[in-house]
Amino acid sequence: MLTKMEILALSLANNQNSHYQLNQPFWWLHYRVDPKTYLADLVTQGYLTITKDPLIVLPHYTVAQLKTFLRFEGLKISGRKADLVRRINQQCEPRLIGQTFSLQFYQVTELGAQILRQNSYLRIIHNHYAPGIIDYKQAGLIKLPHSGLSERETIMQLLVAADEQAADTGYWSRRYLVAHLTFQNNYEWRRYGSALSGLLQSIAIELAGLSMAQPNFNLEQLLRQHDVLDYRLTYYKIEDYYVVVLKQLMTEFNLTLPDILANFSQLRKQLRLPFQLFSDQEMDQIIGYSLAGDELQLQHLYGQAQQNWNKKMGQ
């Protein structure tokens, strides 16, 4: 019976050049395993094979290379790449094809394909790996189904579970990362409503001063740092990338600043922030100034907030 990591190796090797190797430092760092013998073992056990099948090999060559071969053989060179591959496979001698196109590739066997279908979650998690959030331990904790879920369903189940766990323990830096991953993944999947929610949650946690807060985070110690809200240095402002994407979403869906702020207010209440570096009104102003690119107003607002905190802390 294969381990999770061996099944993942099987998935990664499929359709790769036979010289393909698993990156040992990466696997040890992330998964604490040494995959050195995995591929050879998978071949020996019948889950993986090395093939010279032209239908597998030829698509890995360029159109120019395929046309050159066809031209030498006096055959038509017109059509798409798939047409060229089919023409070579059907009209040329296998021996000549093998001599000219000498690459070999790993290919899963039917037994290997069956194992991959039963464990599709492994590759999805690997592709989106985030320690403590999207990983195999988390998948085991929430009893994530090994197959049958789409990529989005798999990732969102893990993100929701990680956010609930972080909320229970006051792990705000993890909640921030979950919000960012929710935004990032949904943006890539073109789920723009969910992407906007994740983006605004990320901004709320940043402006609250909680984006790096571990459980039992010492807020008083943070506030005693004189430059915590120095606009040139602070972590607690909206990242340029967030501003760019927020502008894109507003343009794409004809959203106004009041629309964004209404959504932001609702999400901020849902988060139940235990602490805020900035008041609700100041947060709204920061979003408005950031979207307008008004650096002077932002510097003034941050400077005033720093002075107010210094007075509160008796500095």
Q: Quick check: helix, strand or coil at residue 49?
A: strand
User: What does the alpha-carbon distance between residue 289 and residue 297 come to, in Å, rounded to a whole number?
Assistant: 7
pLDDT band at 315; cut points 50, 70, 90: low
Q: What is the pLDDT of residue 224?
A: 67
Least confident range from 122-126, 243-247, 311-315: namely 311-315
The pLDDT assigned to 119 comes to 97
Crossing angle for the helix pair 257-271 and 280-292, to the nearest 10 degrees: 140
Rounded to whole angstroms, the Cα distance separating 60 from 99 reads 15
Nearest to 261 by CA among 233, 280, 237: 280
191 phi/psi in degrees, rounded to 5: -95, 80
Contacts of 218 (CB under 8 A, 6+ apart): none
Is the CB of residue 244 less than 8 Å from the CB of residue 177? no
Cα 36 from Cα 91, distance rounded (Å): 40
Give the model confidence (pLDDT) of 161-171 as tens digits. Answer: 999 999 999 99
With a cut of 90, say whether residue 196 has pLDDT above it: yes
Look at residues 228, 192, 184 and name the one whose alpha carbon lies nearest to residue 208. 228
Q: What is the pLDDT of residues 105-120, one digit of tens each?
A: 999 999 999 999 999 9
Residue 168, helix vs strand vs coil: helix
Q: Could you read off the pLDDT of 4-37 as tens digits, one per residue?
A: 999 999 999 999 988 899 988 999 999 999 999 9
User: For residue 313, what pLDDT is reported?
Assistant: 74
Q: In terms of pLDDT, which residue wins out, 194 or 55?
A: 194
pLDDT category at 306 given cuts 50, 70, 90 is confident
Q: Mapping DSSP to helix (H, G, I), strand (E, B) and coil, where does residue 219 land?
A: helix
Distance CA 239, CA 237 (A): 6
Percent of the residues in the chain that have a pLDDT greater than 70, as a whole number: 97
Which H/E stretch holds residue 10? helix 4-13
Instruction: Give residue 103's pLDDT band: very low, low, confident or very high (50, 70, 90).
Output: confident
| Amino acid code (one letter) for 191 | R
Percent of the chain predicted with pLDDT > 90? 68
Residue 281 and residue 43: Cα distance in Å, rounded? 63
pLDDT tens digits for 227-273? 688 888 788 999 999 999 999 999 999 999 999 999 999 999 999 99
- Mean pLDDT over 186-194 rounds to 95
Rounded to an integer, what distance in angstroms lies between the CA atom of residue 125 and that of residue 135?
Answer: 6
What is the overall mean pLDDT for the chain?
92
For the cut 80, the answer to whether the pLDDT of residue 178 exceeds it is: yes
Residue 216: pLDDT over 90: no
Q: What b/e sequence results for 198-222 when a residue is b if at least 16 CB atoms lie within 10 Å of its CB, and e otherwise?
A: bbbbbbbbbbbbbbebeeebeeeeb
Neighbours of 60 (CB within 10 A): 13
Contact, 307 vs 315, CB < 8 A? no
C-beta of residue 4 within 8 angstroms of C-beta of residue 92 = no
